[in-house]
Amino acid sequence: MNPHLNTLLHPIDDADYAARCRAQLDATGALVLQGFFTEEAIARVIEESAPREAAAFYASSTHNVYLTPSDPDLPEDHAFNRQVQSSKGLIADDQVPADSPLRDVYDDPDFRSFLCGVLGISAIYPYADSLSSINVHFAPDGKELGWHFDNSSFAVTLLLQAPEGGGAFEYVPAVRDADAGDMAFDRVDAVLDLREPSMTLHSEPGDLVLFRGRNAIHRVTPTEGDTTRLLVVFAFNDQPDVGLSESALQTFYGRTS
Could you report the per-residue pLDDT of 77-89, keeping only the tens digit for each?
999 999 999 998 9
237 belongs to a structural domain = yes
How much is the pLDDT for 125? 94
Could you report the per-residue pLDDT of 157-194, keeping only the tens digit for each?
999 999 999 999 999 999 999 999 999 999 999 999 99
92 belongs to a structural domain = yes
Could you report the per-residue pLDDT of 10-36, keeping only the tens digit for each?
999 999 999 999 999 999 999 999 999
1 belongs to a structural domain = no
End-to-end CA distance of the chain: 33
Residue 101 structural domain: 15-253
User: What percent of the chain has pLDDT above 90?
Assistant: 89
Question: What does the chain come to in residues?
Answer: 257
145 belongs to a structural domain = yes
**For residue 116, how many C-alpha atoms fall within 13 Å in the half-sphere facing its CB?**
16
Helical (H) or strand (E) element with 170:
strand 169-172
Q: Do residues 192 and 84 lie in contact, with contact meaning Cβ atoms separated by under 8 Å?
A: yes
7 belongs to a structural domain = no
Q: How far is CA 50 from CA 35, 113, 229, in A?
A: 21, 30, 10
Task: Indicate the pLDDT class of residue 50, thresholds 50, 70 and 90.
Answer: very high
In angstroms, the CA 58 to CA 53 distance is 10
How much is the pLDDT for 13? 96
Angle subtended by helix axes 15-28 and 109-119, to nearest 10: 50
Q: How far is CA 124 from CA 9, 140, 216, in A?
A: 24, 32, 22
123: pLDDT strictly greater than 90: yes
Q: Produce one character per residue of 49-82: b if its CB has 16 or more CB atoms within 10 Å, e if not.
A: beebeeebbeeeeebbbbeeebeeeeeeeebbeb
The lowest-confidence range among 44-53, 60-69, 241-250 is 241-250
CATH number of the structural domain spanning residue 183: 2.60.120.620
Q: Do residues 82 and 185 lie in contact, with contact meaning Cβ atoms separated by under 8 Å?
A: no
In angstroms, the CA 238 to CA 152 distance is 10
128 belongs to a structural domain = yes
155 belongs to a structural domain = yes
Q: Do residues 19 and 117 lie in contact, with contact meaning Cβ atoms separated by under 8 Å?
A: yes
pTM of the model: 0.94
In angstroms, the CA 55 to CA 140 distance is 13
How much is the pLDDT for 257? 85
Q: How far is CA 99 from CA 96, 106, 179, in A?
A: 8, 12, 40
Number of domains into which the chain is organized: 1
* Residues in CB range of 128: below 8 A, 6 or more apart: 240, 241, 242, 243
